[in-house]
């Protein structure tokens, strides 16, 4: 099957800057609706996709959303993350899942893809995820989930996220990809030489000195991205730890001396080189931290589209058999 020839429609909820959308566009999908409440993310989305997403999904009439085959949603994760307070459904951001549920009740798409932090799996001793899965199953979806790591999909970022996939057709045999066949991208491919980076991205002499003192005597890989955790411990790896929207400005330092540029941050998530930047550095840091590792979504998207193609092909064959049977009775 050539999934690129299969035409389908999808919607992009909690769209951010379109990281989940990109692979589905690549596979021939048509985005018929998008929603994102953050005005700066809307600006980036418009610059790259030519449309301004609708605002807060809470205020959108679900009946007005166009019919579609796939619902995509990287719904807010702060309510479930270890970085946040972990309040889950007690946090208003956690209730955003119920907006997804409302759309599914009305529009009944053939398939869904949801993305969130891996802590959703263990939040409230697994009860939060159980609520989500049960609600999806009651709506008729056969669901499965898996935590996938961007490192396994050719991107130099340790980013583990839970992906939930569901189909209305319960005969579907969907399998999560374990990795990607795409060319592996390294920090060498992504990072500029320090000497070519604007001085505004360099950390202060005091911060650099403190970091160097903490790693004295250790072998330092080059290039590398240094991560200082809350305890003050520093890791130096040939990959980045997970990008975070609300982290301190200096929690990640390239080679221990400078911050990543906006282009480098986007590349660490797998965004294309020509992705347009129309907002401030501060906003790009937030937007990339809230986005997804595109190669992970691309690998899952390919498997989903194959499944949808198989459904359509099977249904066409059934229609053909029924037609032949009817003709034989004449």
Residues classed as catalytic: 77
CB 76 within 8 A of CB 115: no
How far is CA 322 from each of CA 118, 170, 307, 318, rounded to the nearest angstrom?
A: 46, 22, 23, 6
């Amino acid at each position: 099957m050539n999934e690129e020839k299969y035409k389908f429609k999808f919607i992009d909820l909690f769209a951010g800057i379109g990281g989940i959308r990109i692979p589905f566009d690549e596979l021939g999908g048509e985005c018929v609706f998008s929603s994102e409440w953050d005005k700066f993310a809307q600006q980036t989305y418009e610059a790259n996709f030519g449309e301004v997403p609708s605002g807060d999904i809470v205020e959108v009439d679900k009946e007005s959303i166009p019919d579609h085959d796939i619902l995509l949603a990287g719904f807010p994760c702060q309510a479930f993350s270890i970085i946040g307070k972990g309040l889950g459904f007690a946090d208003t951001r956690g209730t955003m899942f119920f907006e997804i549920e409302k759309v599914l009740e009305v529009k009944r798409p053939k398939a869904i893809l949801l993305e969130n932090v891996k802590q959703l799996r263990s939040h409230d001793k697994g009860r939060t995820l159980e609520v989500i899965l049960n609600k999806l199953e009651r709506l008729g979806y056969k669901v499965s989930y898996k935590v996938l790591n961007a490192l396994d999909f050719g991107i130099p970022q340790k980013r583990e996220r839970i992906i939930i996939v569901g189909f209305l057709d319960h005969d579907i045999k969907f399998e999560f990809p374990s990795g990607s066949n795409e060319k592996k991208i390294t920090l060498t491919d992504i990072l500029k030489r320090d000497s070519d980076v604007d001085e505004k991205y360099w950390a202060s002499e005091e911060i650099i000195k403190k970091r160097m003192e903490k790693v004295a005597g250790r072998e330092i890989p080059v290039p590398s991205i240094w991560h200082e955790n809350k305890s003050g411990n520093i890791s130096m790896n040939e990959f980045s730890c997970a990008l975070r929207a609300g982290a301190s400005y200096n929690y990640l330092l390239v080679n221990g001396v400078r911050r990543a540029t906006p282009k480098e941050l986007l590349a660490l998530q797998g965004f294309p080189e020509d992705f347009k930047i129309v907002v401030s550095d501060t906003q790009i840091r937030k937007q990339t931290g809230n986005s997804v590792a595109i190669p992970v979504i691309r690998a899952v998207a390919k498997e989903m589209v194959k499944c949808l193609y198989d459904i359509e092909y099977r249904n066409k064959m059934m229609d053909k058999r029924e037609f032949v049977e009817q003709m034989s009775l004449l």
